[in-house]
Amino acid sequence: MADEESFEEEETGGEEQDEEDEAEPPGDEEQDPEHVEGEEEEEKVPPNPLTEDIIAESLSLLCKTGDGLSHAYVRLDIHERGVTDISILKSFIHLRYVDVSKNALKDISPLSALTHMLTLKADENLLTSPHLEEMPFLQVASFSHNRINTTEGINHPMLEHLILSNNIITQVTGLDAMKLTRLHTLELRGNKLESTDGIYLPNIKNLFLGANVIKRVEGLGRCTGLTTLHLRDNQLENLDGFTEDLKELQYINLRGNLVTSVKEAAKLKGLPFLRALVLSENPVAEEDDYRLEVLIALRSLERLDKDEFTDEERTEAEEIFETRKAEAEAAEAEAKAVEEQEERDREAREEEERERLEREGEEELVREASDSDGLEEKVSETEEGPDDAEDAANEPEDEDEDET
């Protein structure tokens, strides 16, 4: 186990990085993507297949074989040998720790025969794909500084640490969460990613995406186990996309982006365990009271950039927060009172309007009733006729005649 651990540290360049400085690991420096593409135009490398003599010089670490019945050398280091072909390695099935970095390899498919392989370092070659047949025990694989343009073909069930930095990858596809259940660290520095979308790995813990051209944080909500996120030297202008699903996220490095407003920091307040944030080399870091305003927005934060918050800063931030909170509550109460008064005024106006309409309606009914009575009288007079009027006029004369 000690040999394996020391090898892993060597292969990854000591990935126990200082979170504050985020120093790039040795052999994983940022590289101009145009330079990577330009290598396509280099002169063709003359064939130089790996030989048994080179292998004999490069083997070490004698161990028991997997069946325990014999011994074999399990470490092979052929880095910087100018090798173009490693077909001969198909027969070295007991190899566990393999370093083929700094050669001129375009094809590493012969390594698929090494079913006991635990770690692979294939940096600084001419690879365009990291594809290997499923390796049942592979735990660490490094393919930095190649010409790789895809993340397809990585289906190793025991893989824990994958390095694809300084290639020409434009998007992440094909990383199957059902197969990569043990993958805890993924490094994609120095590629051409424009978005974080495609990384749907619930068990991932550490994600290194620095030195890309990322403009949007997308899809990270599916990385529910993420604790450390490096996004330095990208093109982020806002901090949208940090959802509450990132409930384990503790450290975010956003150094060297394009964030201009401290209000963007408030978009991170849904991250309950966020303790350290780096925003240096963003325009926002030049604002007055930058540290204080970030702490007011993220009161559980312990460190901003390289410096922990002092007790004095915390006290001042808490006081300002409480003052603003009280002012906001007072303003909200006042706005609510105004709204309620406006509602009462509206209801009063509606009531007055109803009463007016009712009065007008009653007056109209009275007028209609009055007009109806007058019309009935006229109709009644018309129905009496001239004969009735004449008879009525003659009646007194008849009475006089009777008296006579």
Q: Is pLDDT at 12 greater than 60 in this prediction? A: no
Q: Which residues pair with 277 in a beta bridge?
A: 252, 304
C-alpha angle 167-163-6 in degrees, rounded to nearest 5? 140
Q: Is pLDDT at 390 greater than 60 in this prediction? A: no
The topology under which CATH files domain 32-142+152-159 is 3.80.10
User: Residue 322: how many CB atoms within 10 A of its CB?
Assistant: 10
Position 42 scores a pLDDT of 60
User: Residue 72: how many CB atoms within 10 A of its CB?
Assistant: 17
Domain boundaries, the chain: 32-142+152-159
CB 320 within 8 A of CB 298: no
Phi–psi pair at 77, nearest 5 degrees: -125, 105
Using 50, 70 and 90 to split pLDDT, how confident is the model at 23?
very low
Q: Is pLDDT at 221 greater than 70 in this prediction? A: yes
Using 50, 70 and 90 to split pLDDT, how confident is the model at 379?
low
DSSP per-residue string spanning 75-89: EEE-TTS---B-GGG
Mean pLDDT for 373-402 is 58
Of 198-207, 248-257, 374-383, least confident by mean pLDDT is: 374-383
pLDDT single digits (tens) 143-194: 999 999 999 999 999 999 999 999 999 999 999 999 999 999 999 999 999 9
Q: How far is CA 380 from the centre of its chain?
A: 90
* Pair of tokens at residue 135: 């390796």
The larger pLDDT score, comparing residue 347 to residue 13, is at 347
Q: Is pLDDT at 311 greater than 60 in this prediction? A: yes
d(Cα 82, Cα 141) in Å, to the nearest integer? 20
Using 50, 70 and 90 to split pLDDT, how confident is the model at 332?
confident
Phi–psi pair at 229, nearest 5 degrees: -135, 120
Mean pLDDT of the chain: 87
**pTM of the predicted model as reported, rounded to 2 decimal places:** 0.77
Phi–psi pair at 101, nearest 5 degrees: -70, 160
Q: Is pLDDT at 404 greater than 80 in this prediction? A: no
Mean pLDDT for 238-249 is 97
Position 388 scores a pLDDT of 55
Q: Which residues pair with 187 in a beta bridge?
A: 163, 208
